[in-house]
Amino acid sequence: MTHKLYYWPGIQGRGEFVRLALEDAGADYADVWRAKGTDGSMRGVDTDTPSFAPPYLRDGDIVVGQTSAILLYLGGRLGLAPEDEKGRLWTHQIQLTIADFVNEAHDTHHPLGPGLYYEDQKEEALRRAQEFRDARMPKFLDWFEDILARNPAGDGHLVGDSATYADLSLFQIVEGLRYAFPKRMDQLMHRYPKIAALHEAVGKRPRLKAYLASNRRISFNEDGIFRHYPELDA
């Protein structure tokens, strides 16, 4: 059965974390709004569990929203999560922390809220971005590097000895930060050899490598979560 993903058609955003899992697994899925356009609502989706905001995924009678919840649902079905409960919960915990990191990256350019344009909150964004660059980026990256070092199965993956959706999501975080904060990432990444190795390995996974080179992969742009404003990467 075809999975149906609903997300904004012109950006990677939070939906990209789900796309990466579907693409890596070779899953049959439709990126519905990219094909048909959208008004941003769940109109026409018959469900008593409506999502607050995209992305959301339909799999038969099941409709699930929130990136982390979608990946929790898909992980075992796509072979991208551990089989044991402890491992599944740990992978989910990592993904929730990644979601926190994503939110903080977004708030560097919209610290006062999404209802205002960047230009309307630029002064606040400069202060927020400095805090993000100086304190928050290294704090999160330190944690991921430590997880890789602590993994009893080896430092090639965040959980266990095979790829999970958390590995794919950390790859996307590095990609996004390199786009939004290239100067700061150049300064930082020598401190995180295990993250760098994981990022390189994920990018070479055959299905993902093909996806990243295809027109299905939307380019980063200044409408998404990771935006490159040079003044914020001072």
For residues 179-187, average pLDDT: 98
Write the pLDDT tens digit of every residue in 19-76.
999 999 999 999 999 877 766 565 556 788 888 889 999 999 899 999 999 999 999 9
Q: pTM here? A: 0.95
pLDDT at 43 (0 to 100): 59
pLDDT at 40: 58
Buried b (16+ CB within 10 A) or exposed e, 76-110: eebebbbeeeebbebbbebbbbbbebbebbbbbbb
- d(C-alpha 28, C-alpha 63), whole Å: 16
Model confidence at 186: pLDDT above 80:
yes
- Per-residue model confidence as pLDDT tens digits over 131-182: 999 999 999 999 999 999 999 999 999 999 999 999 999 999 999 999 999 9
On the question of pLDDT at 201 being above 60, the answer is yes
3-state secondary structure (DSSP) of residue 6: strand
Q: Any idea of the CA torsion for 73, 54, 4, 28, to the nearest 10 degrees?
A: -60
Indicate the fold that domain 3-78 takes in CATH: Glutaredoxin (3.40.30)
Beta strands in the chain (DSSP E): 3-6, 29-31, 56-59, 62-65
Tokens of 217: 């992969």
Output the pLDDT for position 207: 98
The percent of residues above 70 in pLDDT, for the chain, comes to 96
- Give φ, ψ of 4 to 5 degrees: -115, 115
CA distances from 90 to 15, 99, 153 (A): 21, 14, 14
What mean pLDDT value characterizes the chain?
A: 95
DSSP assignment string, 169-234: HHHHHHHHHHHH-HHHHHHHGGG-HHHHHHHHHHHTSHHHHHHHTSTTSPPP-TTSSS---GGGG-
Q: Exposed/middle/buried for 111, CB within 10 Å: 0-12, 13-18, 19+?
A: buried
pLDDT reported for residue 34: 87
Domain layout of the chain by residue ranges: 3-78, 85-204+229-233
Q: Which amino acid is at 165?
A: Y
What is the CATH class of 85-204+229-233? mainly alpha
First CA to last CA distance, the chain: 48
Question: Can you tell me the mean pLDDT for 206-229?
Answer: 97
